[in-house]
């Protein structure tokens, strides 16, 4: 099957959320021993999980994968980040060794970290942690021209879909998403500016921590690259022009997981920019996602607004790797557990009155 056939087949199998399961979840929330609505966003989360999985009450997700998509970016040659490109590889080796923040946070919740080399400049070895699916050795510099070809964009989307299928087949009930790629906040800003229609100056942020001069330069690069996108360009063209290989992988993962009814937890600005891409292919796919957190990057708030998602955690994080998605998992598990395990008014013999 060609990547484009895989994409078409995946899009055709994505459905809207299960309205019956959501109705049952909403009705059950109303008879649990609490004032109606008092568990706020946890209640909404439980209803969404029912809609995604088609089951009420949805199972508490025990088996959780953290899929961290890694790639390099030609735009680092244009001076948009203070960090050397080699840090992408060094951090992937840190993930493999279990020493990064995402490893520590994942151990806290018993989640398995899977790293996908979508397109790092360096070659890394395959093992139980790192899956080598390199589409090309880094993108071209988006400040100068298209980041990749349409065929490469399609291949990378297909790779992400396959990762979702592998994780679903391995029995993962929830997939948290993450990214690693020096320079990738520039590509993310381009995607967000394009899909939200907001100006580059409003969307472009400091990434790993850049000074005012570099921010001005980065913003100009984003504005110019977005202006190059042709009127009426489809999502594959947008991805090829200004995206990254990890963005493609994450968008594919979101589409593939939605097709399999496996909920996906979004991380920060990079993952959410990839979710906008997934939304351009299939608005229903994003309904199968939960926003883990709100990053301090300005583009993230704009992206969440366009995705129509409310972040579960807001802790001034700007790390990436999947850190904010992993931190939200205990809240998602709690939301499902409340719906499944709380006593009803009838069970507890509590008079709910007539206005409850």
- Judged by the rule CB under 6 A, the positions of this chain that interact with ligand NCN are 81, 83, 179-186, 207-208, 267-270, 295, 297, 300, 318-321
Distance, CA of 8 to CA of 354 (rounded, Å): 51
Q: Which residues on neighbouring strands pair with residue 67, listed in sequence order?
A: 114, 177
CB neighbours of residue 41 within 10 Å: 12
Nearer CB in complex with ligand DMD: 184/204? 184
Binding flag, residue 320, ligand DMD (CB under 6 A): yes
Window 143-162: residues binding ligand DMD (CB under 6 A):
none
Phi, psi at residue 17, to the nearest 5°? -60, 155
208 to 267, contacts with ligand DMD by CB under 6 A?
Answer: 208
Task: With H, G, I as helix, E, B as strand and everything else as coil, classify residue 327.
Answer: helix
Token couple for 202: 């409003």
Q: Which does 298 bind (CB under 5 to 8 A by kind): ligand NCN, ligand DMD, none?
A: none
In angstroms, give the least distance from the CB of 241 to ligand NCN: 18
Q: What is the DSSP letter of 200?
A: H
Contacted by 268, from ligand NCN, ligand DMD, none: CB < 5 to 8 Å by type: ligand NCN
**Residue 162, both tokens:** 């396959």
Which of residues 173 and 321 has its CB atom nearest to ligand NCN in the complex?
321
For residue 182, the minimal CB distance to ligand NCN (Å) is 4
Residue closest to ligand DMD (Cβ): 320
Alpha-carbon 218 to chain mean position = 23
Q: Which of 195, 321, 326, 333 binds ligand DMD (CB under 6 A)?
A: 321
Least Å distance, CB 91 to ligand DMD, is: 5
Shortest Å, Cβ 300 to ligand NCN: 6
Distance in angstroms (rounded) separating the CA atoms of residues 94 and 40: 38
According to CB under 6 A, which one of 233, 313, 319, 352 is a site residue for ligand DMD?
Answer: 319
295: left (phi over 0), alpha (psi -120 to 50) or beta: beta
16 class by beta-carbon count within 10 Å (0-12 exposed, 13-18 middle, 19+ buried): exposed
- Out of 105, 147, 180, 327, the only residue in the binding site for ligand DMD (CB under 6 A) is 180
SS3 222: helix
Instruction: Enumerate the active-site residues.
Output: 321
């Amino acid at each position: 099957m060609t990547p484009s056939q895989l994409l078409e087949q995946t899009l055709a199998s994505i459905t809207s959320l299960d309205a019956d399961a959501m109705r049952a979840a909403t009705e059950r929330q109303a008879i649990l021993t609490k004032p109606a609505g008092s568990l706020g966003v946890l209640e909404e989360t439980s209803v969404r999980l029912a809609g995604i999985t088609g089951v009420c009450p949805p199972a508490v997700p025990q088996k959780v994968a953290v899929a961290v998509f890694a790639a390099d970016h030609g735009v680092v040659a244009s001076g948009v980040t203070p960090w050397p490109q080699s840090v992408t590889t060094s951090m992937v080796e840190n993930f493999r060794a279990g020493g990064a923040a995402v490893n520590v946070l994942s151990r806290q919740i018993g989640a398995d970290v899977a790293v996908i080399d979508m397109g790092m400049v360096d070659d890394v070895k395959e093992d139980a942690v790192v899956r080598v699916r390199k589409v090309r050795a880094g993108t071209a510099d988006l400040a100068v021209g298209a980041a990749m070809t349409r065929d490469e964009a399609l291949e990378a989307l297909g790779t992400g879909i396959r990762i979702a299928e592998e994780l679903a087949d391995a029995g993962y009930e929830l997939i948290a998403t993450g990214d690693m790629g020096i320079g990738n906040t520039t590509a993310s800003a381009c995607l967000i500016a394009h899909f939200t229609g907001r100006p580059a100056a409003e969307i472009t942020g400091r990434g790993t921590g850049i000074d005012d001069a570099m921010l001005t330069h980065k913003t100009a690069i984003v504005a110019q690259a977005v202006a190059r996108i042709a009127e009426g360009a489809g999502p594959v063209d947008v991805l090829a022009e200004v995206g990254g290989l990890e963005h493609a992988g994450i968008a594919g993962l979101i589409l593939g997981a939605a097709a399999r009814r496996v909920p996906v937890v979004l991380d920060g600005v990079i993952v959410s920019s990839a979710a906008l891409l997934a939304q351009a292919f299939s608005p229903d796919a994003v309904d199968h996602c939960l926003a883990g957190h709100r990053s301090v990057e300005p583009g993230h708030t704009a992206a969440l607004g366009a995705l129509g998602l409310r972040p579960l955690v807001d802790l001034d994080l700007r790390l990436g790797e999947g850190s904010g998605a992993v931190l939200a998992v205990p809240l998602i598990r709690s939301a499902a557990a409340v719906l499944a395990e709380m006593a009803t008014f009838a069970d507890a013999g509590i008079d709910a009155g007539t206005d409850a």
